[in-house]
Amino acid sequence: MGKDEIGREIQRMIDSGGSRISVARDPVNRPMIHHLCDALGDRNPVYLDPDFAAAAGYTDVVAPPGALQVWNMLPPGENDETPTASPVERAYDLLRHGGYPNVVAVNCEQDYTRYLVPGDVLTCEERVEHISEPKNTKLGRGYFITTSTTYTDQESRPIGSMRFRTLWYANVSEGVGDE
């Protein structure tokens, strides 16, 4: 597939729909909430102290909203062994193998419907939302691709959403950037 065809093929995938669905391998739990708070340096007592959380109107501690996506993340290296059946992975493979092997995060927007509580099991549904025309950037020529993810709990109630944009590019030194 030629480099000009990559964007058109990804647009066809967007137009046809389809998504990548994953269910968290573990329910939200206090020990992981504690680890997340330690990693984030967040000592908010509503995340750490059940009595404080109860006084604030919650049934238990709640998870930091900014960590929404970690509950469904695969361990490092597992993505490399996962079949590329989803449109998201197929789009990334087209870019990677089509001459744009480098990737950098551009921006991430998250919206939160409610706090996660221990026992919640998250399901996320991710789809490719947008592919740009090829762009010349300071990093090299490439495509901006945006995915949209919705998060629901074990009863299919909304938890939040995320829009994530990345740039897949070829270094100018790799010869693709001058096309």
Query: Is 102 found in the same domain as 148?
Result: yes
Question: Over the stretch 32-78, which tens digit does the pLDDT of each residue have?
Answer: 999 999 999 999 999 999 999 999 999 999 999 988 999 988 776 66
The reply to whether 8 and 96 lie within a common domain is yes
pLDDT tens digit string along 86-107?
899 999 999 999 999 999 999 9
Residue 170 Cα to chain centre, angstroms: 22
Same domain (yes/no): 48, 78 = no
Domain of residue 55 covers 29-62
Specify whether 38 is located in the same domain as 106: no
Strand-pairing partners, residue 144, are 167
Both 150 and 161 in one domain: the answer is yes
Residue 13 lies in a domain: yes
Verdict on whether the full-model pTM lies above 0.75 = yes
Based on the domain organization, do 50 and 93 belong to the same domain?
A: no
179 is a domain residue: no
- H or E element that contains 144: strand 140-152
Q: Does residue 166 sit within a domain?
A: yes
- The count of domains in the chain is 2
pLDDT tens-digit readout, 104-153: 999 999 999 999 999 999 999 999 999 999 999 999 999 999 999 999 99
